[in-house]
Structure 1
Amino acid sequence: MIVSGTESDSHTWNLVFLQLQLEDWGHRVRNLGPCLPGAELAAECRREAPDLIVLSSVNGHGESDGLSAVAELRAVPELADTPIVIGGKLGTGRQLRAGAGGGGGESMTRRLLDAGFSAVFHESAGLPEFERYVSALGAVKAGRTGRVLEELRAAPTP
């Protein structure tokens, strides 16, 4: 798995937290750090061929940075089927409010998914939703999809 910050986000604590959490869940993680331009991210991911690419933002520019990063990643044929997720503070208050030109979190999620992300985790979702996604992804790779899909359907949504 690869964990990376977005291009304009210099925070590192979120990336270290994600790395440690994913490792605690049993995954091998490479942390590429903050402020990585999309072209560099795509080149590293092409070299690594990760099972999952996780982008994290805490500065509120996750949507705009994420849209350009996922375009770079999806332009690499070897990454066409690689799950790519983004999470954290993806927008500012104005962007996340419905109306006032912001469209709300649902509109933002739709734009990110339409651009090529496999899943979007807003800061309000918390870690359990991300953990369910990562667990389901691991089960799919291990061929245990039936049981996991049943568990995901039965789990309460946050």
Structure 2
Amino acid sequence: MSPYPMTPTPGDQPVLVAGGISDSHTWNLVYLQLLLEEHGHRVVNLGPCVPEDLLIAEALAQRPLLIVVSSVNGHGYHDGMRTVTRLREHPELDQVPAVIGGKLGIAGPCGDEEVAALRAAGYDAVFDDSAEGVAAFRQMLDALSQRALV
């Protein structure tokens, strides 16, 4: 990574995909990358167990169109709160859309209060791991304006 971040040319902003800091699963990240690429987006997949400092550094360097945080281990709510709080501390990133999805709680899906807390902390959308959650994520992707030339 260059110490001198370059501003990407218009139309070249990637989507950053990251697993939560405590989540070592990778299949979900590969799925998300393929889904995003299928929708015409360039993807920078940071992999599993992404420390907040790495996500922030990459977001500052890449100036992404969207940040996607994914969880399969059930700790997404707690990891995600810490991640988005740190992310939103950076004025350069406060307008970058960020979403979180997957298995966000160990006792099942997050309730309305947890979803509201994640949104209040800085996520633009919260998706659970249900078929409806995946459909809502796909709809959000369809609404994104930028598409890569594939």
Are positions 1:92 and 2:106 aligned together?
Answer: yes
Per the alignment, residue 6 of structure 2 pairs with none
- The corresponding residue for 1:134 is 141
Q: Normalised by the size of structure 1, how large is the TM-score?
A: 0.79
97, 100, 125: which one aligns with 1:119: 125
Deviates more, 1:3-12 or 1:33-42: 33-42
Identity of aligned residues (%): 52
- Residue in 2 that maps onto 1:81: 95
Higher relative contact order (CA 8 A, sep 6+): 2
Over residues 65-95 of structure 1, what are the superposed CA-to-partner deviations in whole Å (9 max), with x where a residue is unaligned? 00000011111111111100000000011x6
After TM superposition, the structure 1 stretch with the greater mean CA deviation from structure 2, 19-28 or 36-45, is 36-45
Q: What is the number of residues matched between the two proteins?
A: 132
* 1:67-78 map, 5 Å: 67-78=81-92
Name the aligned partner's letter for residue 133 of structure 1.
M
Paired residue type of 1:117: Y
* Greater radius of gyration (CA): 1
Q: Which runs of 4+ in 1 moved over 3 A?
A: none
Which residue in 1 is equivalent to 2:28?
14
TM-score by length of 2: 0.83
RMSD: 1.5
Q: Which runs of 5+ in 1 are unaligned?
A: 97-103, 143-158
